Structure 1
Amino acid sequence: MLRTRKEIAFMVMAGIFITSAIVAELISAKLVYMGSYLAPMIAGIVPWPVVFLLTDVMNEYFGKQAVRRLSWITTGLIAFCFFIVYVAVQLPTAEGSWLSDKEFAKAFGGSLWIMIGSICAFIVSQLLDVQLFHFFSKLTKGKMIWLRSTGSTVVSQLVDSFIVALIGLYLSGAYPLKMVLVLAITGYLTKLVIAVCLTPLVYLMHYLAKSILGEKANQ
């Protein structure tokens, strides 16, 4: 039974965190344009700003051990989602189905490779992000929130973007290597721009978290 505001806040944040990560995998088979003059990128980028914010706040107020455990749990749930989607793709399509076998397989079959890449990328990048966050936190003695938040994202998302692209898009045979590299670079740069633009919101989240959760975690 949840008894404190901190426990309730953790459960809510963890739920949003996990949902955002899983949805990102399911929609990543689609390429989108974020602007008329930008290169295409995978739609899975859309939920990641939420993950950025929550990772930062949860690192600060619940500690790296809690975020590590959440990262492992999320990885397991992505794998579980992968299994369910795989089974659904393999099941024969009934007559009169809104989507044909081919259409369903094209929509969700591509996500299977994305999920394999994401399972590898997510755990590596998240664990790296946790370590870098606390490295920058100690380096700045708990000050300069923007540096530890953006600094950890710069490195961890570089790893994430290329692992996902190479496994999910290249090894799957969905796109040639040149296109995959373009998508990886575009996706990475987009995440960096988003991370910078979210800096004011990061400060707002920290202010709200401090009001609700009180003291930070003992790291």
Structure 2
Amino acid sequence: MRSYRHIDTITALFVAVLLISNIAATKILVLGPFTFDGGTILFPLSYIFGDILTEVYGYGRSRKVIWLGFISAAVMAVMFALVGTLPPAADWPHQEAYMAILGQTPRIVIASLIAYLAGGFSNSFTLAKLKIATGGRWLWLRTIGSTLVGQFVDTLVFVAIAFSGLLPTSILGVMLLSNYVFKCGVEALFTPVTYAITGWLKRQENEDYYDRGTNFNPFHLFRMN
């Protein structure tokens, strides 16, 4: 198995974006015509990292990174829940504030984890298949096309699980549409950046992986193809 110079850095940034987004998602924002959770501001970057990983290193390595993100977010959720249930110090006055913000995080992270797996693997699978179908041409088509698929799955699952029963159906619908349009818009806007980083990594790593013969089973973790 080949070693690469930059895959560890991309993996670390990917996981950091995922964790920060999960915490920021506890706040609902209204910016112009958009209504969405705070995590939406940063979360689209995780899909850009996912596109770069699959495009340069292939689905197999992207799959490992997706699972690393899943495990990290799960550990974070368990720790927030555990700390919230432990008795606070008698002179610490912020237990209610902690529970009001981070106390909601386990449900949001559970929603995020399920949505993240479904959306992340949908995104990576679509991009890998499009790369083969296009012969490696039209990177913009692969990145935007895979995002349209992955973000739709991710956003639908996340909003349904995280906020169902907490918010009126009308707000859920607006949030779903706002999240989807915003996330896909960010991906499209960052296309030149994706081109630049992907091209640089391919030259640095001397790699441009095509997933011909790849086993796309998300649970097939112990082989690269």
Taking structure 1 as the reference length, the TM-score comes to 0.90
Distance in 2 separating the partners of 1:180 and 1:45: 14
- Report 1:1-219 matches (<5 A): 7-34=4-31, 37-97=32-92, 99=94, 101-170=95-164, 173-219=165-211
Residue of structure 1 in register with 2:217 after alignment? none
Question: Which amino acid is the alignment partner of residue 185 of structure 1?
Answer: L
Q: Is the 8 A contact 2:70 2:113 kept in 1?
A: yes
Secondary structure (helix, strand or coil) at the match of 1:7 reads: coil
How far apart are 1:41 and its partner, in Å?
0.9
Task: Report the identity percentage.
Answer: 20
User: Do 2:5 and 2:205's aligned partners in 1 also have CA atoms closer than 8 Å?
Assistant: no
Q: Point out where structure 2 has 5 or more consecutive residues left out of the alignment.
A: 212-225
> Which runs of structure 1 show a deviation greater than 6 angstroms over 4 or more consecutive aligned residues?
none
Q: SS where residue 32 of structure 1 aligns?
A: strand
Aligned partners of 2:132 and 2:210 also within 8 Å: no
Is the CA contact 1:113–1:169 (under 8 Å) kept in the aligned structure 2? no
* C-alpha separation in 2, matches of 1:53 and 1:156: 11
Q: Contact 1:27 / 1:111 at 8 angstroms: preserved in 2?
A: no
Counterpart amino acid of residue 14 in structure 1: T
- The amino acid that maps onto 2:163 is L
Question: CA RMSD of the aligned region, Å?
Answer: 1.6
| Secondary structure at 1:142 match in 2 | coil
Q: Secondary structure at the match of 2:34?
A: coil
